Every structure is written in structure tokens, then in C-alpha cells.
Structure 1
Amino acid sequence: MSVTQQYLLDSYRAAQLGERTPPAPGVYDWQVVREVRDYGRFNAVVHERPAHGRFRGALGRLLRGLRGGGARTPRPLP
């Protein structure tokens, strides 16, 4: 049974019983994404890690490693 079919069935049952209809599928998706993001930031602060820029920093480290621009060797003295 698809999500839409389940929603229609639940809406029909709610109408028959005089109850509130359930929210349509996808209505609260962005709210869930924001809550997961906020939980990750909160968890980072609790564990004393930076709360912002972790993804971009990890991506930058990965890309520098792929390009070979990691640790630089010092220039020899003249």
C-alpha cells in the first residue's frame, strides 16, 4: 500500500469516526529536517566540537587530500 493510499484510508476512517484527519504526507518533512540539523548542532556543542562548518571542513580536507595538496615539504635552506 502506498503512502497516498494509506492517507486516504486514514482520512476516510477519521471522517467516519468524527475525528480529525491526519496531516497529508510530506507536510512536516522540512520541519523534521530542521530538527535533525538542530539536534546535530546541539550534540556537537555538548561533545565540545565545532557546531558550524563541520561538513565544509571535512569536504575541504577530503578534496585537498585528493589533489595532493596536503602536507607541504619545507624549502631547503640556501
Structure 2
Amino acid sequence: MLVSAAMLLTLGGCVTMSGDYNVTAVDANGQPIKMVMTSHGSAIYSSRNAFCSNFPKATVTIRDFHTGEELKSESPYHCR
């Protein structure tokens, strides 16, 4: 029973991303960063990390490429 519960908790953290997304950001002062990355599936994390590496304290927004709807589970993301 304990093993089943542990497996369920582990699997609950797995997310499979699919779709195309535009990844944009604003800097720490709220100014738009003049760069848009288009990412497919889980590549949104690489795009988000690229923004955060280059612009600490930026806020990254991830939107569906086709609908413009924000990806609520991952966006907005506040860089550290």
C-alpha cells in the first residue's frame, strides 16, 4: 500500500507538454524585453531559463501560439 502511494505521488509530478508557445518577458522594472521565443512542448522550460539567465528578476509569460491563451500552469513565472 505504501509503495502504491509513493508511485502515485511520483507520477503526479510528471507533466507532458505539447503544443506551440510564445515565450515573452518583462524585466525587473516592467519593461518588455525585445525578444520572443517560439517553443514546442517542453522546450518552454529552456526558453524560460534563457530569459531568467539573462534577465534576473524578469517575469516570463508563456502563451499558446495559436490561441494566445496564457499557459496557467506555468505562467507567469518570476525569475529569481
TM-score of the pair, normalised by structure 1: 0.24
In proportion to residue count, which structure has more strand? 2
* More helix per residue: 1
Considering Cα pairs closer than 8 Å and 6+ residues apart, tell me whether 1 or 2 has the greater RCO.
2
